[in-house]
Amino acid sequence: MKIAIAQSQSIKGAIEKNIKRHIQFIEKAIEFKSDLIVFPELSITNYEPELAAELAKNINDSIFDIFQQYSDTHQITIGIGMPTGKEKDIKISMLIFQPNQKRVIYSKQYLHSDELAYFQKGNSQTFFTIKGIKIGIAICYESLQLAHFLNCKKDDATIYIASVAKSQKGIEKTIPYFQEISSEYQTPILMVNSVGYCDNFKSMGQSAVWDKKGNLMKQLDDRSEGMIVVDTKKMKAQKVELAF
């Protein structure tokens, strides 16, 4: 299986423009025969808690049909970040589009204290299996909670993917933590972060991949959009040049 992680820069609240940018990343991932592509936290709207209730949409909204079309046509699973729900039940979610399957929502279960004023917690873990490999998804803050990781391991996830929006300070905590737990629990970990300004901080990229021994396989820089494609069978990772 090949997994692409897309270090993207989103425009605050500009859903349609951000969708177009996502499609460019997806087309590049398809060129590299990727089976899965995952984007950063709240990638379709940018990480903007104060705007989340206004921007939230249902996964079956027609604006997302293009992702299902790409998934069905190119046999690629797509995970994008989007606030979901309505009124006082807004969640930080990943919308998951799988080839010829019903769309799935995974909502962040562990919220940072700063998020509690804007969001509600999700109540269940989502997994998906591609080519016999079971993948557990985490969204930002919860990926640093060992209980979340262990719950994924308990359900036999063999790869852990964290979709995040982190500042430099957050990244400095995250990198050694992922290195440690990937080695201790013999689990490859992929982290995809955004770049650029969002909410009240600057997201600092450095998306990375660790193998099951905790070795850093590839890492992107802290300012540029980019992509890493991981071949899980050969356990090789490559940076992909973007020409858009």
pLDDT at res. 205: 98
CA angle, 195 as apex, 66 and 189 as ends, to 5°? 80
pTM for this model (two decimals): 0.97
User: Which residues span the domain enclosing 144?
Assistant: 2-240
Say how far apart CA 16 and CA 157 lie, in whole Å.
Answer: 33
Residue 86 φ then ψ, to 5°: -155, 155
Model pLDDT, residue 39: 98
Burial class of residue 242 (count of CB atoms within 10 Å of its CB; 0-12, 13-18, 19+): middle
Give the CATH number for residue 110: 3.60.110.10
Residue-level pLDDT at 241: 85
Among candidates 219, 230, 224, which has minimal Cα distance to 244? 224
Could you give the angle at which helices 15-31 and 65-74 cross, rounded to 10 degrees? 10
For the chain, 244 residues long, the average pLDDT of each consecutive 10-residue run is 98 98 98 98 98 97 98 98 95 98 98 97 96 97 98 97 98 97 98 97 98 97 97 95 83
User: For position 101, what pLDDT does the model report?
Assistant: 97
Q: Which residue has the tokens 């901080």?
A: 201
Provide the number of structural domains found in the chain: 1
End-to-end CA distance of the chain: 25
Alpha helices in 32-163 (DSSP H): 52-55, 65-74, 146-154
